[in-house]
Structure 1
C-alpha cells in the first residue's frame, strides 16, 4: 500500500540516465548504480516498508525500469516535470550540474513539496499503446509536411522522384497507423465510449478524437477551466496595478492546439450551434482570431462534459 503524503518522512532523490541511476536520501552522500532491475532492487531494498517518497524526473523512458522496481517494492514515487525542477533549482541561483548534484536537488525538491506532489501510477497498457501510436502518427505527419515542402522547392526537381517515393511510403505508414489506432479503440469498451462522445462534438473528426484520448486522458475528470488550460486555449490574465494587458492563450499540451484550430474551422463552416456562436462573435466585432479561439475553447469544454456524462452513466 502506498504511503499517504502526510506519512512521508524521508525523500529519496534519483537522477536517471541511460546507464545509471544516482540515489540521494536527503544527505549529501550519494551512490550510483546501474540502471538495471537487479541493481536497483538491491539499492532500494532498504527503503521498502519505510515512509520514503522517491522522486525522479521524466527522461523519455529511461526511468521505466526504476519506476517498475519502486512499484514492486511498494515505495511511493513521483515522476517530476524536468522544467519544474529546473525552475526550482534556478530559483536558488545555482548552476552546477552533475548526477550527484541533480540527485540532491531532486531530494530537496521532493522534501519541499512532498504534500502536493502526485504519486506516480503505472499507465494502462491500452492507453500507453494508444499514446505511442498517436505520437508516432504525429511524427510521420510532420515528416510528410517537410517532404511536401521540399517537393515544392525550385531546386528539388532533380530529386523529385525520390521525394515522391518517400511521400508514398509515409502515406502507407500513416494509413496503417490510422487502422491500428481505430482497431485499438474499437477493442476497448472505455475508449470506444469516449471516442463516440468526442465524435459527437462538431468539428471533432477521426484524427482529433484519438489525439484527445491519447494526449488528454484526464478528459471527463476536469472542470472547464482545467481542460481549457490543458488544451492551451484558456486566456491568462496579465495585469499589474492599473495596467491591464491583452489576455493571451498560452501553455497547455502543445499537440492539442493546432488540431483544435482545424476542428474549429470545420465547425464554423457547418450547420451547428458552434457555427451560430462564431457568427455571433463576428457580429459583435470580435476579431476572427479571437472568435476562433473561443470556438476552440467551446469544443474542448463540450468534449470534456460529454465524456464525463457518458462515463457517469456507464457506471450507474
Structure 2
C-alpha cells in the first residue's frame, strides 16, 4: 500500500533522459543508471517499503519505464510539470543545469511540496489509447492545414500535384483515425456514456466530443470554475492597487480553446439556449469576441455538469443492482 502524504519522510529526485535516469535521495550524492526496467528495479529496491516519495518530470514518455517500476515496488510517485519545476528553480536564481543538478532540484522540489503533490496513478489503457489517437489526429489536421496553405502559395504551382497527393493521403489517415476513435469510444461503456452526454450539448460534434474525453478526462469531477480554467476560458483578474485591468482568458490546455471556439460559432447559429444567450449579450453591447468567449465557457460548464449527472446516475443504478 502506498504511503500517504503525511507519512513521507524522504524524497527521491529522478532526472529522466532517453537512455539514463539520475537518482538523488536528498543528499549531495547522485547515481546514474540505465533507463531500463532491470537497472531501475535494482537501484530502487532499497526504497521499497520505506516512506519515500519519488519525483520525476514528464518527459514525453521516457519516464514510463521508471513509473512502471515504481508502481511495481509500491513506491509513491509524483510526475511533475516541467514548467513548474523550472519556475521553482528560477525562483532561487540558479542557472546551472545537468542531470545530477536536476535530480537534486527535483528532490528539493518534492521535499518542499510533498504534502500537496498529487500521486501518480497509471492511466486506464482505453483512456491512454484514446489520448494517443486524438493527439495523432490533431497532428494530422495541423499538417493538412499547412499543406493547404502551401497549395495556395503562388510559387507552389510546380509542386501542386505532390501537395494534392499528400493532402489526399492525410485525409485517408484522418478518416481512419476518426473511425478508430469512434470504435474505441463505442466499445467502452463509460466513454460511450460520456460521449453521449457531450454530444447533447449544442455545438459539440463528433470531433470535439472525443477531444474533450481525451484532453479533459476530469470532466464530471470538477466544479464550473475549475473546468473553465482547464479549458482556458476562465476570466482571470489582473488588478493592482487602484488599477483594474481588463480580465483576460489565458492558460488551460491548449488543444481545447480552438475547438471550443468552433463549437461556439456552431451553437450560436442554431436554435437553442446558447444562441439566445449570445444574442442577448450582443444586444447588451458586448463585443462579439467577449460574447463568443462567454458561450465557450457555457459549453464546457454544461458539458461538465451533464457528464457529472450521468455518471452519478449510472453509479447509483449500479449500487442498486449490486
What TM-score, normalized to structure 2?
Answer: 0.97
Shift of 1:5: 0.2
Post-superposition offset of 1:268: 0.2
2:33 aligns to what SS in structure 1? strand
Where 1:263 maps in the other structure, the secondary structure is helix
What do residues 59-116 of structure 1 show as CA deviations (whole Å, max 9, x unaligned)? 0000000000000000000000000000000000000000000000000000000000
Shift of 1:262: 0.1
Per-residue Cα deviation, 1:24-70 (whole angstroms, up to 9, x for no partner):
00000000000000000000000000000000000000000000000
* CA distance in structure 2 between the aligned counterparts of 1:132 and 1:193, rounded to whole angstroms: 20
Whether 2:281 is the aligned partner of 1:281: answer yes
The alpha carbon displacement at 1:145 in A equals 0.2
Shift of 1:277: 0.1
| 1:169 is the counterpart of 2:156 | no
1:186, distance to aligned residue in structure 2 (A): 0.2
- Residue matched to 2:65: 65
CA distance in structure 2 between the aligned counterparts of 1:241 and 1:273, rounded to whole angstroms: 39
Structure 1 position 187, deviation (Å): 0.1
Deviations, residues 268-299 of structure 1 (Å, cap 9, x unaligned)? 00000000000000000000000000000000
Deviations 1:130-174 (A, max 9, x none): 000000000000000000000000000000000000000000000
Aligned to 1:91: 91
Tell me, what secondary structure is at the counterpart of 1:144? Answer: helix
- Give, in whole Å, the separation in 2 of the partners of 1:83 and 1:73: 28
Deviations 1:224-279 (A, max 9, x none): 00000000000000000110000000000000000000000000000000000000
Q: Distance in 2 between the 1:87 and 1:291 partners?
A: 34
Q: Cα distance, 1:198 vs. partner?
A: 0.0
Aligned mates of 2:195, 2:15 — CA distance in 1: 38
**Distance in structure 2 (CA, Å) of the matches to 1:162 and 1:44:** 52
Unaligned stretches of 5+ in structure 2?
314-322
Residue matched to 1:178:
178
CA offsets per residue over residues 10-36 of structure 1, 9 Å max, x none?
000000000000000000000000000
CA RMSD of aligned residues (A): 0.2
How many pairs does the alignment contain?
A: 313
Aligned partner of 1:113 in structure 2 is: 113
Provide Cα deviations, 1:171-216, integer angstroms capped at 9, x if missing partner: 0000000000000000000000000000000000000000000000
SS in 2 for 1:23: strand
Secondary structure of the 2:94 match is: coil
Work out the CA distance in 2 between the residues paired with 1:288 and 1:2.
51
Aligned-partner Cα distance in 1 for 2:286–2:64? 48
Secondary structure class of the residue paired with 1:151: helix
**SS at 1:211 equivalent:** helix
Structure 1 portions without partners, runs of 5+: none
Mapped pair 1:220 → 2:243: no
